[in-house]
Amino acid sequence: MSKPTTASRKGAKVKEHLKRIWRVLPSDSIDTIAADADLTYNQANHAISHLRANAVEFGWTIPHVKRGATKFLKGDAKARFVPVLLEPNDDEMETYSEENHHPMVIAGLHSTCSEVGRKSANEATAVRIAAASLTKDQTEVKAAALDFAADLDYVSRQARRVGKEVVAPLPQESVAIEEA
């Protein structure tokens, strides 16, 4: 029998880390996941990134979470990192999660759309500035760069549109209103 390759040993290690992570979900942060699963922050973060990139293969994922301050959340809503089971079905994806996790998944989608919209617009501007610096003998590259900037603008508009449409407030019982 041959010795396992480095890649297969790393794959087995990630699978073991994901088993540990599954057992401690839902959770409020990667720090908490790492501590509860007896992993380092980097191990937990790497495993979650690998899971998200290969969600269909694993049959589950941890969707992206709401970014930014979450101190206003209480109870179950603090558990931003939630497991979602996946089942590919033709061209669509069936997802299964606990009902009280659904608002956190939607909040994560809204946050991702906002982030992608903002970053794409910023990158489109950066590409245009760089394209303006190209020399006259680089016209094909300049044209491609400007097309790319237009694509980024489109992505930005779409992300922002979707972000506005998916705004689903968290259940009122999950939000603690701070009094001034």
What pLDDT, on a 0 to 100 scale, did the predictor assign at position 5?
A: 53
Estimate to the nearest angstrom the gap between the alpha carbon of 48 and the chain centroid.
10
Inter-residue contact 149 to 110 (CB < 8 Å): no
Q: pLDDT in tens for each of the 180 residues of the chain? A: 555 555 566 788 999 999 999 999 999 899 999 999 999 999 999 999 999 999 999 999 999 887 765 555 555 556 789 999 988 776 777 888 888 788 888 888 888 999 999 999 999 999 999 999 999 899 999 999 999 999 999 999 999 999 988 865 554 444 443 333
Task: State phi, psi for 26 to the nearest 5 degrees.
Answer: -75, 160
Indicate the domain borders of the chain.
6-97, 103-173
| pTM for the full predicted model | 0.72
What pLDDT, on a 0 to 100 scale, did the predictor assign at position 107?
A: 83
What pLDDT, on a 0 to 100 scale, did the predictor assign at position 62?
A: 94
